[in-house]
Chains A and B, each alone.
Chain A
Amino acid sequence: MNRFAISEVVFEIAPLREQLLGHQAGAYASFEGWVRDHNEGRAVQGLFYESYRALADTEGQAIINQALQRFAITGAACVHRTGELALGDLAVWVGVSAGHRGPAFDACRWIIDEVKTRVPLWKRERYAQGPATWLHPDPEP
């Protein structure tokens, strides 16, 4: 099973979550990133996400595999949208199951942090005012 996926279309969380749940997993932590109506003080009208698909798949899968090594968890998965997204659309989902809540939270946060840092995905924001802009943030210190 691929535990990391790029989706060019709207995807459902429910079946992804189902796959993570089992009788051994007492804890499930998830994260969802949604398209906000603002970013750094500017009114946002929509987003476009582009990926380098082959490398994104490889790197995303590597992150999940590393999370399964680093944390006491039973399962982890992540799906990231590409293409045009409107306000309120789901951009990314991360789900983690574990025996206990500490590792579930820690791994979930680690995965989204790594995805934002390492996976070749780029966001272009459309604003109420001014030209659309690709975001190429400096790495966080």
Chain B
Amino acid sequence: GADAQAAPKTIKISSVLSLTGKMSGMGTQIKPSYEIFADQVNAKGGIYVKKYGKKIPVELRVLDDESDGLKTQTQLEVANSWGAVANLGGLGCGSFEMGTPICQKNKMVWVGPGCGGWMPHQLGNEWLYSIFFKTPFFSPLVFDMIQAQPKPWPNKVAIFEINQMDAAEAGLYWKQAAKMKGFKLVYHKKYLAGTKDFSAMITGAKAAGAEILLAYPLPPMGPAIVKQMKELDFSPKVVYWHRAPEGAKFGSGLGELADYVHVPCAWSPDLKLPGNDYVIEQYKKKTGKKEADLIVGTAYTAFQVLAAAIEKAGTLDRKAIRDAVRATDMETVCGRIKFTDQGWAKDRLIVVLQWMGGKTNIVYVNEHGKKYGDKVPVKPLKWQPKWSER
């Protein structure tokens, strides 16, 4: 029955994000996305909670973790004590791995754009939900993408592997997939986060005759690698990176130098799925940017999923919300979201984007995305030419 008396004034939802520190670039892109969704919901009176028989507005509290894992944990304790019913996560496997155990211990669901790493999901944490696909499933994409092009295909693969969990996973699955699909690994180097000079690795990969370069660079390293590749006249046909090319300033900062770089993504502003126009328009209005950043849709989706789950749970009980999140099966601005028991989104739409002329084009879409037909407009892929011919 409806008990208006006991109804809380707001639905408290926390979001622990990196607004300062090393990862702040990503955090400051996610925050407006969450706010857009909160405003949108609140404009309609909030989320309907059956237990109270009415709509209750959402109160979003963003807490800065200063890109420091320890701070991520203490801020989640603050969120817990504040009475948040759920937490919306930030990006990056560091905060993901450090933060979600706190959610597990405090029994509060975490829904986030997440990280590519598969490992955190295999530990049995029942409170963690990531709407991103995981390394074993998206790593082989690069080879599928190449083999979907007209022959001749480039064949020799170089991997620059940063010493981070998700990159190590990706490295592993890249190697496996390359072998299965008939590609040849000619160069594989591990390097430390914080490495600023890539000329040694580039020189090595070039000497090995690499035609496909796979890497997982952090955003600040993106420009350095590109410039040094040009300087050393290394022009593999395919440059396929995670992370750095997703950065808000990758294309605008590098200009023509960014051309031909590929990045796999869960969302693109070119997707024509319902709701995207609104998100992009609001994002531009809110931030004054010319283009929506690549993380915007994914973050928005996290909130979409959480809000739907709260409504479905019909109560603000944390466990009930968690169970509802687990049972999610819905269409979002990112396509269909459905979780596995381990909390990662399965059968996800993934697109591969190629930078060209300061913006991204979708040049490949995986089988789960093909179902959407024209709503995922794919443009032809271009092999990277020699630097002298660009």
**Are these two chains actual partners, yes or no?**
no
Interface residue ranges, A against B (CB under 8 Å)? none
Interface residue ranges, B against A (CB under 8 Å)? none
